[in-house]
Amino acid sequence: MEKTLVKALATAVNDEEGHYLAQALQGIVELQQISGSLNDVDPHDLAEIVVLMPFIHERIGHAEIEKMPQLKLIATRSTGYDHIDLAAAAQHGIAVANVPGYGETAVAEQTFALVLTLSRKMHLAYTRTQQGDYSIEGLRGFDLYGKTLGVVGAGAIGLHVIRIAKGFGMNVVAYDVNQNRLLAEVLGFRYVKLDELFTISDIITLHAPALPSTQHMINRETLSTMKHGALLINTARGSLIDTQALVWALDTGILAGAGLDALEGEEFLQHEEELLNTPDTEDKLKILAHNRLLQRRDNVVITPHIAFNTEEALRRILDTTIENVQAFLQGHPSNLVKR
């Protein structure tokens, strides 16, 4: 008798990712994959989904979960899981698994890509030469050597950032709720309080998770304490920064620039029409407007949340997601997220 396979859905996948998932999960699940979101799936098909494999831009709350009454596992293809309503998932008996580590080196390298772009004005130089202008007026940068880098969140990614910074001859200070004094001694950095980090750092880079306690940790109050002319880098989560306060800090010269791979409200930048169907539309429109202001600034470099986007990191994401699905269906779940 032929085995009945549970139905699984992977959203926001491209052809290459879809082919890899389909091959690995063949005979394990009946896989449906789409390049879009849950909104693009027929309601009848959604009602039969047991395993969902979304990406970070797929918001999954009460409304979405209620459309999937058979859902048992959300295996997000990401480390972050703030796009999933964990309380709603728990209420419906749905397990949530993530990919704990996959892109430490990738994100750390993207962090320094943004640092170097701003410190040497690479984006401005590139645009100028594309127009046939080879003048150097206004393109003077600064050395990283001897500057102080403040790392907010010295976990796996933050430690890779610190290793790179030391290679540039930078002084490094870090803030983290969990401190490893041995690693600090080996890598040559020191832990400081967050307010001190803001005060003394020439460049501040964020590597904290998206939690209620970290929501808008960079706000008007904290920005006002930062070293005048500092750079701010965010390759973590958009919710860490109050966008309106960031615009203010750039306008007043508190910050000399910002490199942002994650933006508050970034899920609406590509699909602005989705704002019409969400609560607090007015607040989200204000965030969107401030993001547009940031995009027009010469001293702000924005990339579309691509810090994870390397061949090696993507393969690790898919492999761990596949392992999470297999382990769950075999009765010994792995990488479960706890509320």
Positions marked active-site = 237, 266, 305
Query: How far, rounded to the nearest angstrom, does the alpha carbon of residue 41 sit from its chain's CA centroid?
Result: 25
Q: What amino acid is encoded at 173 in this protein?
A: V
**Edge-to-edge strands of the sheet including 203-206?**
190-191, 171-175, 148-152, 203-206, 230-234, 255-260, 300-302
**Under 8 Å between Cβ of 261 and 235:** yes
Torsion of CA 305, 279, 97, 205, to 10 degrees: 40
d(CA 227, CA 298): 20
